Structure 1
Amino acid sequence: MTRWLDEDEQATWRAFLWTTRLLNDALESQLQRDSKMPHTYYMILAMLSESPDRTLTMSQLAQIVRSSPSRLSHAVNRLEENGWVTRTKHPTDRRTTLAELTDEGFEVLKAAAPGHVEAVRRHLFDPLTREQVTQLRETLHILLESLDTEGECRDDARSTSSAGSAQMNSTS
């Protein structure tokens, strides 16, 4: 038997659906307009910037940014063409490919971060009180726990670090 949403649940679902869609669209538009890059590229650069030696295996990177290997490979190809990322074989395992954020890529990320953080702040945090931010975080952690059965996102979501570990105070 189908457990249909009641009126309150339906209103909540639609508010969540439209809010997440509009928030993603706003962040995508800001990054495209100001930095000429999609949010996906920003996320890849940010995750690499937070990693030791600014390097991850392609498998690790795919898992962190929740991307299929083929989609990630396509994105990293573009980032390589821009000179923002390099790929090399792992020194002890030739089957493993490493993605490394270049100095140029790090500078691009540092330049993009202030506008991105401002957009996140304006669209997500400024309309909320401190108490509402805490409630939102707690609610999102509950949902994340039920969705992330492998525990792949939980540690990252609970982390206090932000994209670009060079103290540039950005977000992913």
Structure 2
Amino acid sequence: MLAFGRLQGAANRLEHLLGRALEQECGLTHLEFEVLLILGRAGEPGMSMRAISQEQVLTTGGATRVIDRLERAGLVARIAHPTDKRGRLAKLTPKGAKTVVDAAKVHLENIKKYFLAPLPEDHRDRFAEDLKILSHSARDALPPLK
């Protein structure tokens, strides 16, 4: 129980530090940055709100609100779904693509500073692998999102 508490405490503090740095240096919340990354990986033609919500473990309404903010900032555009006349997809604008690349550079430097630098160098790869195992195990134990 102590180890899990430490993991959760570290994750919460790192989320705060990394999120604050993204907001101060890039003008993005951590959630907005994550959604931009998801859209960047998706490429063309974009993603539905449902697909975004499943990737980020949000409600569809939550994904829609994030996309609304990113659209107002000119980082995301909504386009017609190619096969569903009622559906809309979200995709990065050129400004959004540049923003996510710039923010990723900032985020990587902060990850190195706050997440990797405190660990002994010879522990980092094993620690990353252990986190992957835990993440996949928890993902597989969750029921599918609807």
Query: Where on the TM-score scale, by shorter chain, does this alignment land: which range?
Result: 0.7 to 0.9
Aligned match of 2:24 in 30, 33, 38? 33
Pair 1:91-2:70 in alignment: no
The answer for the alignment partner of 1:17 in structure 2 is 8
How far does residue 126 in structure 1 lie from its aligned partner after superposition? 1.6
How far does residue 129 in structure 1 lie from its aligned partner after superposition? 3.4
The amino acid of 1:21's aligned partner reads N
The amino acid of 2:29's aligned partner reads P
Is contact 1:54–1:101 with CA below 8 Å preserved after alignment? no
Q: Secondary structure at the match of 1:149?
A: helix
Does the C-alpha gap of structure 1 residues 54 and 101 become closer, same or farther in structure 2, counting only changes over 3 Å?
A: farther
Query: What is the TM-score with the length of structure 1 in the denominator?
Result: 0.75
Pair 1:45-2:36 in alignment: yes
How far does residue 23 in structure 1 lie from its aligned partner after superposition? 0.3
1-structure distance, mates of 2:103, 2:43: 21
The amino acid of 2:117's aligned partner reads D
Is contact 1:31–1:38 with CA below 8 Å preserved after alignment? yes
Does the C-alpha gap of structure 1 residues 120 and 151 become closer, same or farther in structure 2, counting only changes over 3 Å?
A: same
2-structure distance, mates of 1:147, 1:89: 35
How far does residue 151 in structure 1 lie from its aligned partner after superposition? 8.5
Percent identical pairs in the alignment equals 24
Is contact 1:84–1:103 with CA below 8 Å preserved after alignment? yes
Query: What is the TM-score with the length of structure 2 in the denominator?
Result: 0.87
**Larger of the two Rg values belongs to structure:** 1
Structure 2 gaps, min length 5: none
Superposition RMSD on alpha carbons, in Å?
2.0
Is contact 1:48–1:54 with CA below 8 Å preserved after alignment? no
Residues 79-138 of structure 1, C-alpha deviations (whole Å, 9 max, x = no match): 010111011221221233211100011112222222111111111112223442222223
Larger relative contact order (C-alpha < 8 A, sep ≥ 6)? 1
Q: Which stretch of the first structure deviates more once superposed, 123-132 or 31-40?
A: 123-132
Aligned match of 2:108 in 101, 117, 120? 117
